[in-house]
Amino acid sequence: MLVLVAPGQGAQTPGFLTPWLDLPGVEDRLRALSAAVDLDLVHYGTDADADEIRDTAVAQPLLVAAGLVSAAALGEVTPGAVAGHSVGEITAAVFAGVLDDTAALTLVRKRGLAMAAAAAITKTGMSALLGGDPDTTVAHLEKLGLTPANVNGAGQIVAAGTLEQLAALEADKPEGVRRVVALKVAGAFHTRHMAPAVDTLAKAAQELTPGDPTVTYVSNKDGQAVATGAEVLERLVGQVANPVRWDLCMETFKELGVTALLEVCPGGTLTGLAKRALPGVKTLALKTPDDLDAARELIAEHANA
């Protein structure tokens, strides 16, 4: 059984879409998506620097577009399940037939702008903590006023809060935590700091007509499969101000009997977590078109298993 997954913010790097533009139709598709949201995705995926693509309002549409064009390059894929991390949930909604490309890009553009505006109110950020006991880590974060915004499993929790709180964390790591790594994001996503974005996103979601998932759609909220498009949208709205439970998503993958995990471009983050948390599950990250042949082999072996 194959699960198709999409990464979240912070996975982007300067120029990561450049090799994909050599494939027939990719640039045309990106330009069409750019026109739909009035954002030059080709520029941001090829020529823009790290600071430009760290901007939440840019990064989120860019990541969704990258996931869509890289998945399309695979050809026909029918996974047993789909999921995405944070903004990757919108990419996964397209994979599941809940949204079409244009609706997804329109929604994520509004999401990115709303979250960027919320992030501008207070200087905030996120840092990944590697190692340590989850319960001990969460208690320590709460003591510092931080939120465990991403509980990713495989020994990784992402803390979010003000820059002062994150500085205090650097100076006072939880027992057992090996490293604290600042993430390439521009705000404390999936925390109370994003509450102003929820109403904006709810209004944007009301303008959409979602389809029901055609494959199992696993939600960040609690790792549960969601049966209706309306509930998928409802969860996408609420998730911007609530923690991502990727650990529970991976537990659901186990329960579903997933045998392979394929991460769309810019892949790497979720496959890394899966290698540690899902032993025995084959993993592959789509980083460049050079990975397509291996991905197709994985699909042929596991998509109908």
Helix (H) or strand (E) holding 264: none
Give the rounded percent of residues in the chain with a pLDDT score beyond 90. Answer: 96
What is the Cα Rg of the chain in Å? 18
Amino acid identity for residue 69 in this structure: V
Q: Per the structure block, which two tokens stand in for 90?
A: 């919108």
Q: What is the pLDDT of residue 154?
A: 83
| Contacts of the segment 42-46: beta carbons below 8 A, 24+ positions apart | 42/17, 45/15, 45/16, 45/17, 45/18, 45/20, 46/15, 46/17, 46/18, 46/21
Residue 78 above 80 pLDDT? yes
Peptide bond between residue 7 and the one before it cis (omega within 30 degrees of 0):
no
Mean pLDDT value across the chain: 95
Residue 104 above 70 pLDDT? yes
Question: Is-catalytic flag, 86?
Answer: yes
Nearest CA to 96 out of 253, 270, 215 is that of 215
Q: What is the pLDDT of residue 304?
A: 65
Q: Which of 34, 86, 127, 219 is catalytic?
A: 86
Residue 71 above 70 pLDDT? yes
Q: What is the pLDDT of residue 176?
A: 93
pTM of the model: 0.95
Q: Are 239 and 138 in contact (CB under 8 A)?
A: no
The answer to whether the Cα torsion of 221, 17, 12, 201 is positive or negative is negative
Q: What is the pLDDT of residue 220?
A: 97
Q: What is the pLDDT of residue 77?
A: 93
Nearest CA to 245 out of 130, 121, 152, 120 is that of 152
Give the rounded percent of residues in the chain with a pLDDT score beyond 70. Answer: 99
Question: What distance in Å separates the CA atoms of residue 167 and residue 64, rounded to the nearest whole number?
Answer: 31
What pLDDT, in 10s, does the model give residues 188-207? Answer: 999 999 999 999 999 999 99
Q: Per the structure block, which two tokens stand in for 220?
A: 């960040």
Q: What is the pLDDT of residue 10?
A: 87
Q: Per the structure block, which two tokens stand in for 54?
A: 């760290």
Question: Is-catalytic flag, 190?
Answer: yes
Q: Going by C-beta distance under 8 Å and a sequence separation of 6 or more, which residues neighbour residue 37?
A: 61, 105, 106, 109
Amino acid identity for residue 5 in this structure: V
What pLDDT, in 10s, does the model give residues 238-294? Answer: 999 999 999 999 999 999 999 999 999 999 999 999 999 999 999 999 999 999 999
Query: How big is the CA angle at 71 (ends 250 and 81), to the nearest 5 degrees?
Result: 30
Q: Which of 140, 190, 193, 302 is catalytic?
A: 190
What pLDDT, in 10s, does the model give residues 119-174? Answer: 999 999 999 999 999 999 999 999 999 999 999 998 899 999 999 999 999 999 99
What pLDDT, in 10s, does the model give residues 180-193? Answer: 999 878 899 999 99
